[in-house]
Amino acid sequence: MRFATIARLALRRQLLAAAIALGILSSGSVGARAVEIQYWQYVFDTRVQAMSEVIKQFEAENPGITVKQVTFPYADYQTRLIAAKAAGRGPDVMQLFYGWLDTFIAGKLVQPLPKASFKDAEIERDFFPIVSAMKRGGQYYGLPTAVRSMALFYNKDLFQKAGLDPDKPPQTLDELVAAAKAITKRDAAGNFQQVGMALDIARQDHNWWREILLRQYGGESYSADGSKVAYNSEAGARSLEFYTGLQKLHRVGQEGFMDEGQAAFRGGLAGMVVDGTFRIASYKTIQGFKWGVAELPTQDGRKANFGSYFANAIGASATGEKLAAAEKFLAFISSEKAMTIWLDKVGELPARRAVALTEANIKDPIYGPFIRGLDYAATPPMVDEAAQRQVSIDMINTVLLKNTPITEALAAAATREQAILDKFKGK
Amino acid sequence: MTALTSPRSAGLSGPWGRLSIATKQIVWAWTFLALPVLFFAAVRFYPTLEGFYLSLTDWDLLNEARFIGLDNYRKLFADPVFWQVFANTFAYLVFGTPIAIVLSFAIAYYLDRVTVLHGLIRALYFLPYLTTAAAMAWVWRWFYQPPPIGVINSILGSLGIPAQPFLRSVDQALPAIMLTAIWAHLGFQIIIFMAGLRAIPTSYYEAARIDGLGEGAILRRITIPLLKPTTVFLVVFSSIGFLRIFDQVYNMTSNDPGGPLNSTKPLVLMIYQTAFSSYQMGYAAAQTVVLFVILFSISMAQLWILRNR
């Protein structure tokens, strides 16, 4: 015990000496002691601009640390990270989709956040609950700047033309179908000229089905610990039937109409589309018609939403003074200040409750429905986001294109996805 | 020549001087060839061998590669998606190549006889070949759209034919994409066929006509047999092209690459996805080896056919 105390004291004294030396050095010659850290994210114009602004403010507050922003096209992003890791030159702070976390931990690309500077209790108090998707084994691996949720975008002009009240968007799935039917227009040969509902599995509809409709019908997508697929159920069947029924039964939309769901909506040929916060910036440029946003329609009074986000994490290779600088930078980009910039420039919702849940934001006609949705949003863990998405896409396609019975398609998808989960666990 | 008797070569006059000129030429040739050979070995043969080795490991880019023997091949041959992809790849080859060859031959045959605006028409056929595959694929993707924006469906609609799903159909998507690939390479094949046609001496045709042969007989007995080297070249070239098809498929189905339901996915796209979406490098290497074996066999067959000529 005594020896340990002495050793600790000695260590503390050394640390103190080092800190003083560092202080003298950094106050004496700032330039010589400057630390440069690298921040990586994918290219998306507004995100890059917002981050440049955040970096400028951070550097002003922290002389001696410079942050270099490095960007890559989205499609190359993961590959670049992995290649950089192989070459031993990874980023100090990086952006990652929450669904990539397990892969990144397994590949030793990220390191856990130090508990001293990022306290669990504070994170859980200040951030929306979906931040828990960044926690593994009692350790947080990253924090988001902004979060995303889903809502129903609707074309007010088409509502009006169809005799619907443009200020009363559908609140239940039944109302959604009724509104969609009123808006849908087909020519004499039965071809869609205008759809009530833009359908797009590859974009957001697979999320709408798996994380929202399923829950609204009383089911769950995965078991609580995320290790088992749970949608092969009565609720799974009913929700899949509803989704595919929009095309097959109610005939209010068609996959591939105008190539993409968002193109159909932007083109003014779709009454409604389910999409995320990230689409706001693009839809704000629409000039031809008025549009609105509504909370997602419910079923049996059940609300559900899908929250997802890009988080920022510290690269596994950051050590020493780079690690210290990276910690400071991460704290800054997940601060209230940075989140305000992000909301203004990118249009994505702040991840901290205090910044998001302001009176003005909640009442905002565009942001409001998304922010209200965040409170009941679920963010299920994912081990291989792309592969799991493909399973849902294929499941919906077998029903739509091959007339596979719902239960059969559901069972096949559950088996395939379970294999993905099992394989990952085995790693 | 006197310049060659420099002090250096005089010093080497021992063993070097005793070599015959022919041997010296060979030595020099190999000295000059050494650079490209080394370069080729470094950028082609070494990675190829490395690929063979990787196919026996479970490398995922992040962790050390572990030797697992033939597991990747066992997994591949047991994977129903692989067999579907294999069938797709051969569908592109088996239907694409003959259609492309017959079509380009027919166009070249008649174009050869056109005297009015010959150059312009030839240039028009060749133009698509100059465009990037991605740009062409996106234009065709628009053509194939359902009403009200799809060009082909509007034409069908005006003829009273019901709209077709094309890229959204498991049956029509592959032929729809194959057609664009055929169209994209038509210009090149026409040019090569025309060069082949022009290379046949006109005296053969004159003699045949004097002997009273009809056009059909001339085509069957003179034109087609004499075009054999050209045809073999184009068949092999086009086969390899169809076996390696990627751009058209990837760009025309980018929402669900190789879809719907893997109905258009060729081997190269599967390799790409395995490697760069799932990071299963070992498994992707095994798929690459399979593709290599197929391409290699086809090239060997080509050599065999040419030798029998």
pLDDT digits (tens, 9 = 90+) for A123-157: 999 998 888 889 988 999 999 988 899 999 999 99
Pairing, β A93-97 against β A35-42: parallel
pLDDT for B224 beyond 50: yes
CA distance B221 to A6: 103
Cβ atoms of A254 and B146 closer than 8 Å: yes
Interface-testing mutation among A186, A401, A403, A423, with chain B (most B C-beta atoms within 10 A): A401
Contact B148 A191 (CB under 8 A): yes
Contact B147 A192 (CB under 8 A): yes
Contact A107 B146 (CB under 8 A): no
Q: What is the pLDDT of residue A28?
A: 41
B160 belongs to a structural domain: yes
Identify the weakest region by mean pLDDT among A296-310, B8-22, B130-144, B234-248: B8-22
CA distance B222 to B224: 6
Contact A394 B261 (CB under 8 A): yes
Contact A193 B61 (CB under 8 A): no
Contact B278 A384 (CB under 8 A): yes
Closest CA to A199 of A242, A156, A149, A148: A242
Helices B173-199, B228-243: axis angle to 10 degrees equals 150
B73 belongs to a structural domain: no
The CATH class for the domain spanning A34-148+309-377 reads alpha beta
Closest CA to A204 of A115, A277, A297, A135: A277
pLDDT for A32 beyond 50: no
The model's pLDDT over B137-173, given as tens digits with 9 standing for 90+, comes to 999 999 999 988 999 999 999 998 999 999 999 999 9
CA distance A314 to A39: 9
- From B162's Cα to the closest Cα of chain A, the distance in A is 7
Closest CA to A313 of A81, A137, A50: A81
Q: Which residues belong to CATH 3.40.190.10 in chain A?
A: 34-148+309-377, 150-306+383-426
pLDDT for A20 beyond 90: no
Name the H helices within A292-363: 320-333, 336-345, 353-356, 359-363
Percentage of chain A surpassing pLDDT 90?
63
Interface of A with B (CB under 8 A): 78-79, 82-83, 85-86, 103, 106-109, 187, 189-193, 200-203, 254-260, 269, 384, 386-387, 390, 393-394, 397-398, 401-402
Q: What is the DSSP letter of A201?
A: I
Residue A427 confidence class, pLDDT cut points 50, 70, 90? low
Of B168, B262, B277, the CB nearest to A256: B168
CA distance A305 to A376: 6
Residue B95 confidence class, pLDDT cut points 50, 70, 90? very high
Q: Which domain holds residue B289?
A: 78-308
Contact B61 A109 (CB under 8 A): no
pLDDT for B308 beyond 80: no
* A407 φ/ψ angles, rounded to the nearest 5 degrees: -65, -35
Pairing, β A291-294 against β A270-276: unpaired
* Residues of B in Cβ contact (< 8 Å) with A203: 255
The model's pLDDT over A292-350, given as tens digits with 9 standing for 90+, comes to 999 999 999 999 999 999 999 999 989 899 999 999 999 999 999 999 998 888 888 89
Contact A202 B153 (CB under 8 A): no
Instruction: Report the chain A residue with the minimal C-alpha distance to residue B141.
Output: A259
Q: What is the pLDDT of residue B44?
A: 87
Find residue A292's DSSP bridge partners.
Answer: A154
Residue A110 confidence class, pLDDT cut points 50, 70, 90? very high
pLDDT for B293 beyond 80: yes
CA–CA distance from A214 to each of A109, A401, B45 (Å)? 33, 21, 52
Of A78, A82, A202, the CB nearest to B256: A202
Q: What is the pLDDT of residue A14?
A: 54
The model's pLDDT over A251-297, given as tens digits with 9 standing for 90+, comes to 999 999 999 999 999 999 999 999 999 888 889 899 999 999 999 99
Q: What is the pLDDT of residue B13?
A: 63
Contact B157 A189 (CB under 8 A): yes
Cβ atoms of A318 and A184 closer than 8 Å: no
CA distance B288 to B286: 5
Residue A88 confidence class, pLDDT cut points 50, 70, 90? confident
* Residues of A in Cβ contact (< 8 Å) with B169: 401
Q: Does B156 touch chain A (CB under 8 A)?
A: no
C-alpha atoms less than 13 angstroms from C-alpha of B147 in its C-beta half-sphere: 20
CA distance A227 to A235: 19
| H-run or E-run covering A26 | helix A2-28
Contact B62 A398 (CB under 8 A): no
Other Cβ atoms closer than 10 A to B224? 13
Q: What is the pLDDT of residue A25?
A: 45
Find residue A153's DSSP bridge partners.
Answer: A273, A293
CA distance B112 to B206: 16
- Interface size between A and B, measured as CB pairs under 8 A: 78
Q: What is the DSSP letter of B308?
A: T
Residue A386 confidence class, pLDDT cut points 50, 70, 90? confident
Other Cβ atoms closer than 10 A to B235? 18
Report the pLDDT averaged over residues A185-201.
93
Name the H helices within A375-426: 385-402, 406-426
Q: What is the pLDDT of residue B125?
A: 87
Q: Does B71 touch chain A (CB under 8 A)?
A: no
Cβ atoms of A317 and A90 closer than 8 Å: yes
Q: Is the ipTM of this complex over 0.85?
A: no
CA distance A361 to A367: 6
The model's pLDDT over B52-76, given as tens digits with 9 standing for 90+, comes to 999 999 988 777 888 998 999 999 9
Between residues B176 and A357, the one the model is more confident about: B176
Instruction: Report the chain A residue with the minimal C-alpha distance to residue B161.
Output: A189
Residue B199 confidence class, pLDDT cut points 50, 70, 90? very high
Cβ atoms of B240 and B294 closer than 8 Å: no
Q: For the domain that residue B247 is a member of, what is the CATH number?
A: 1.10.3720.10
CA distance B25 to A297: 83
Closest CA to B249 of B298, B184, B164: B184
CA distance A168 to B64: 58
CA distance A212 to A219: 9
pLDDT for A8 beyond 80: no
CA distance B5 to A321: 66
Between residues A272 and A104, the one the model is more confident about: A272
Cβ atoms of A394 and B261 closer than 8 Å: yes
Of B62, B146, B261, the CB nearest to A191: B146
pLDDT for B261 beyond 90: yes
Cβ atoms of A276 and A150 closer than 8 Å: yes
Other Cβ atoms closer than 10 A to B71? 16
Cβ atoms of A175 and A330 closer than 8 Å: no
pTM over 0.90: no
CATH superfamily of A150-306+383-426: Periplasmic binding protein-like II (3.40.190.10)
Between residues A380 and A392, the one the model is more confident about: A392
Identify the weakest region by mean pLDDT among A187-191, A380-384, B116-120, B255-259: A380-384
Q: What is the pLDDT of residue A29?
A: 42
Closest CA to B259 of B273, B249, B267: B249
Instruction: Report the chain B residue with the minimal C-alpha distance to residue A390.
Output: B256
* Residues of A in Cβ contact (< 8 Å) with B141: 259
Domain count, chain B: 1
Residue A5 confidence class, pLDDT cut points 50, 70, 90? very low
Of A83, A106, A397, the CB nearest to B261: A397
CA distance A188 to B181: 34
Most confident of A13-27, A343-357, A401-415, B295-309: A401-415
B23 belongs to a structural domain: no
Percentage of chain B surpassing pLDDT 90?
58
Of B141, B255, B278, the CB nearest to A202: B255
Residue B12 confidence class, pLDDT cut points 50, 70, 90? low
| H-run or E-run covering A365 | none
Residue B4 confidence class, pLDDT cut points 50, 70, 90? very low
pLDDT for A79 beyond 90: no
Q: What is the pLDDT of residue A33?
A: 62
Percentage of chain A surpassing pLDDT 70?
92
Of A191, A384, A390, the CB nearest to B147: A191
